[in-house]
Amino acid sequence: MNSLMRCPGLYCGREQLSDGNWTECGACPRGFRTNASSACFPCEDVPMFYDWLYLGFMALFALVLHWFSIDQVTMRSSIPKEVIALHLSALFEILAASVVTLYLTEPIGSFTINSCKVRRLSDWYTLLHNPSPNYETTLHCTHEAVYPLYTMIFVFYAFAVTIMLVVRPLIAQKCLPKKGKFSIYAALYFFPILALLHAVGSGLIYYAFPYITIVLSAISSAAHFAFKLNQTMKSLLLSSILDIKNVIVILGHWLLHGYGIVAIATERGSYLHPAMLALVPLPAIFYILTARFTDPHKLHFEPFI
């Protein structure tokens, strides 16, 4: 076509040929998306801070699952050097996978990203918006409108699994030859599940991850305290200060809670007031202050008449 005409649907576009003509309506190539005139233009935007928070959440979630799996298979009350080595191995694997993924994303060789701005939820699901003009033939215009936020996560998961299979067996064999291997098996289960969740619900996760972070950190913090045998306020408070493992776990929950608060403020375009950070220790303080009122042995059941 000699002139640019708008295509049907939200994501069908035309590419300009070397002779100045335009192609038929179809999917834009990787790294491009359509504009208001249905022309495919390159993704050259700079990711917003919220986009970086989203990518960080996906990496942190995988790391937390690694650490949770290691704690479950070791089942130790203290923090021996062998378990710490496995935790550090998981941290190295996630960091290395993140660095390699950033390095191999356009522009290759730098730690910056060229992206297309996320405008609406449907940008994550272009497959569901292939138009059918006059209900005759379907135009297949599926492409990555949120380049590269969608495919980057799959690349990150692939590198994370590969690096884990190279590094973790050596650490596990040296530190915990009997139990260390089970943390590898656990990761081989949850990484495919994470990939499936991302493939299906990536757009929903993108908009909901700040709230997911806050809710999960609050629930995890309550579960951590609930496993303590002594539920008195004094015991909970002292164990949170004197026990090194508890201090590390609580600080981790606080960091996650603060991460969620920062993400919510960024999503809403609000200024992060320092007073908002006072909400970070609130779940832990609330549990310690109210634990004595939740003792199941103090519940009284009235008989039905």
pLDDT in tens, 136-175: 788 888 888 899 999 999 999 999 999 999 999 988 888 7
pLDDT at residue 4 is higher than 50:
yes
* Boundary of a domain, candidates 96, 129, 146: 146
Contact 15, 28 (CB under 8 A): yes
Question: Same structural domain for residues 141 and 254?
Answer: no
Number of domains in the chain: 2
Average pLDDT for 127-141: 84
Of 146, 165, 195, the residue at which a domain comes to its end is: 146
Q: How many residues does this entry show for the chain?
A: 305
Domain assignment present for residue 64? The answer is yes
Average pLDDT of the chain to the nearest whole number: 85
Whole-number Å distance between alpha carbons of 144 and 27: 9
One domain, residues 97 and 222: yes
* Mean pLDDT, rounded, for 122-126: 90
DSSP label at 44? Answer: -
Pairwise pLDDT comparison (108 vs 52), residue with the higher score:
52
Tokens linked to 266: 């960024």
- Residue 77 has a pLDDT of 47
SS3 at position 276: helix
Asked whether the predicted pLDDT for residue 1 surpasses 60, the reply is no
Sequence-ordered list of residues with C-beta below 8 angstroms from that of 204, at least 6 positions apart, any chain: 121
Residues 182 and 277 in one domain: yes
Q: Are residues 209 and 94 in the same domain?
A: yes
Residues 21 and 154 in one domain: no
Same domain as 159, residue 37: no
Yes or no: say if 136 and 9 are a contact pair by the CB < 8 Å rule: no
Domain of 123?
Answer: 1-42+115-146
Measured distance CA(85)–CA(199) in Å, rounded: 32
Statement to judge: residues 134 and 268 lie in one domain: no
Flag whether pLDDT at 50 surpasses 80: yes
- Asked, for residue 22, whether it belongs to a domain, the answer is yes
Alpha helix (H) ranges present in the chain?
49-74, 81-104, 149-175, 180-226, 233-242, 244-267, 282-290
- Angle 49-74/244-267 helices, nearest 10 degrees? 150
Digit-coded pLDDT (tens) for 169-197: 988 888 777 777 888 899 999 999 999 99
Lowest mean pLDDT among 77-91, 190-204, 205-219: 77-91
Q: Tokens 């191999």 sit at which residue?
A: 104
Q: What is the pTM of this model?
A: 0.86
CB-based burial of residue 158 (10 Å sphere; 0-12 exposed, 13-18 middle, 19+ buried)? Answer: middle
Kindly report, residue by residue over 30-49, the tens digit of the pLDDT. Answer: 888 888 888 888 888 889 99
Tell me, yes or no, whether 155 and 224 share the same domain.
yes
Q: Are residues 121 and 237 in the same domain?
A: no
Q: What are phi and psi of 26, to 5 degrees?
A: -175, -165
Which of 97, 127, 146 corresponds to the end of one domain? Answer: 146
* Continuous segment of H or E residues that includes residue 119: none
Q: What is the mean pLDDT of residues 277-298?
A: 77
Domain co-membership, 66 together with 141? no
pLDDT at 166: 93
Q: Are residues 124 and 246 in the same domain?
A: no
The reported pLDDT for the residue numbered 157 is: 96
| Residue 102 included in any domain | yes
Separation CA 299–CA 271 (nearest Å)? 44
Q: Which amino acid, residue 110? A: S
> Contact at 8 Å (CB) between 13 and 28?
yes
Tokens of 261: 């608060």
Same domain, 120 and 209: no
pLDDT for 210 equals 92
Which has the minimum average pLDDT: 121-130, 192-201, 227-236, 252-261?
227-236
